[in-house]
Amino acid sequence: MHSAGTAEVSICEVGPRDGLQNEPEVVPTAAKRELIQRLAAAGLRQIEVTSFVSPQWIPQLADAEELVRELPRLVDVRYSALVPNERGYERFRKAALAANRHDLSVHPDEKGVLDIAALFVSASETHNKKNVNCSIAESLARFRPVIERARVDGVSLRAYVSTACGCPYEGEVSVRNVVKLVQQLAELGVAVISLGDTIGVGHPRQVCELVAAVAGEVSLDRIALHLHDTYGRALANVQAGFEAGVRTFDAALGGLGGCPYAPGASGNVATEDVADLFESAGVATGIALEALVDTTNWLARDVLKRALPGRVYRARLGARKQNEAKAT
């Protein structure tokens, strides 16, 4: 990675949604709120907090409305939530109206508003059907009324393109298919499109080629990468994406996450690992790494009560213990 002292990257924290929805136990709302508060205190300014998918399918996030009401109102923090369809958007809208003091649009001096709705679609037909029980074309058709309502409401839109590097059912996914889907989403008015390596099969050269292909159609300031670490290549793919021009990366503290419709897929790239990679190279993230390590340790030890797969947080904790032992 080329160090660039003035360069900056943006990390979108997806742990409270993409991570906790895959946990076998339901995390209490109070703990979710504290997690979000801690993440913001550590410097995260984009946090995906919950999902308005039916609680029948994701009971771990059934408290979406309650959580949104209790979101900490912090300067310069923007919250997003997953929205599957128009019914989900209506839930999002009502919750956001209540939390944002009856105004869905963003104001420069506003604090901690829920103002970003995140859509999702797969680049492979089979995964899309497994995930949302419809074709890609049907998904795009379902988005249209949501996008129109969001435009009127002043809500920004984000969209995830899953299986961009490979599908658990179809195998290789054509770059052409991904680019076409990105074009369609951009034309519909989606502000940020996050390309997801859902099963973690991508490799650096593939990521570079994918980003280059997408860059030929859509400005890279509208593109994010959402990388899973199934084969241990997520961090290398982050670096490849950065070298190719991407400046926004999704991550989940501790490496939380997975996908119920992607057998064998492991969690997201860990937020601490991404922050450490960039900060070590002189690329600013705005994240206080030690505070983030404390947050991940708190979540693992006190809430989930199990170790998480992230590397940097474990290494930092180990170094602290070593230093404490030397001090005594």
Statement: the pTM of the whole predicted model exceeds 0.75: yes
Tell me the pLDDT tens digit for each residue of 25-41: 999 999 999 999 999 99
Which overall architecture, per CATH, does domain 10-327 show? Alpha-Beta Barrel (3.20)
What pLDDT shows up at residue 315?
A: 96
Pairing of strands 248-251, 10-13: parallel
Residue 316 has pLDDT above 90, yes or no: yes
Active site residue 165: no
What pLDDT shows up at residue 103?
A: 55
Tell me the pLDDT tens digit for each residue of 224-272: 999 999 999 999 999 999 999 999 999 999 999 876 555 555 799 999 9
| 131 contacts: CB under 8 Å, gap ≥ 6 | 120, 122, 162, 261
What pLDDT shows up at residue 317?
A: 95
**Domain definitions of the chain by residue range:** 10-327
C-beta of residue 31 within 8 angstroms of C-beta of residue 66: no
pLDDT tier at 327, thresholds 50, 70, 90:
confident
Compute the Cα dihedral for 299, 301, 303, 306 and give only its sign.
positive
What pLDDT shows up at residue 3?
A: 43
What pLDDT shows up at residue 324?
A: 82
Residues in the chain, overall count: 328
Catalytic residue among 12, 165, 167, 259: 259
Tell me the pLDDT tens digit for each residue of 1-22: 544 444 599 999 999 999 999 9
pLDDT tier at 107, thresholds 50, 70, 90:
low
What pLDDT shows up at residue 98?
A: 82
Of 6-20, 88-102, 114-128, 185-199, the range with the lowest mean pLDDT is 88-102
